């Protein structure tokens, strides 16, 4: 696995997060040995999530419009 920031080599590592609001204290993740980037399963889940599509609708006179939703 390579770092998405610097393309450096990433290693499996264990992390302790005392502020984790998911209830986990110890978790497994990936750490870049080059820049220190940490990727944990929660980060991966968010990164792989499909971003919301722009909302599309029609005005009364049936012109199509779209509004970008803030992520
Ligand atoms: Zn890196």
Digit-coded pLDDT (tens) for 5-57: 999 999 999 888 776 576 667 888 999 999 999 988 777 787 788 777 776 76
C-alpha 64 to ligand 1 mean position (Å): 43
Pairwise CA distance, residues 17 & 32, whole Å: 18
- CA of residue 10 to ligand 1 center, whole Å: 7
How far is ligand 1, taken at its centre, from the CA of residue 9, in Å?
Answer: 7
What pLDDT, on the 0 to 100 scale, is given for residue 11? 95
Ligand 1 centre distance from Cα of residue 55 (Å)? 35
Q: Where are the domains of the chain?
A: 1-52
pLDDT of the residue at 68: 64
Confidence (pLDDT) at 20: 59
């Amino acid at each position: 696995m390579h770092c998405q920031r610097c393309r450096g080599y990433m290693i499996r590592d264990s992390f302790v997060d005392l502020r984790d609001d998911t209830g986990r204290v110890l978790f497994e993740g990936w750490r870049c040995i080059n820049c220190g980037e940490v990727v944990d399963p929660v980060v991966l889940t968010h990164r792989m999530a499909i971003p919301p599509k722009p909302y599309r609708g029609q005005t009364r006179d049936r012109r199509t419009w779209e509004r970008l939703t803030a992520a």
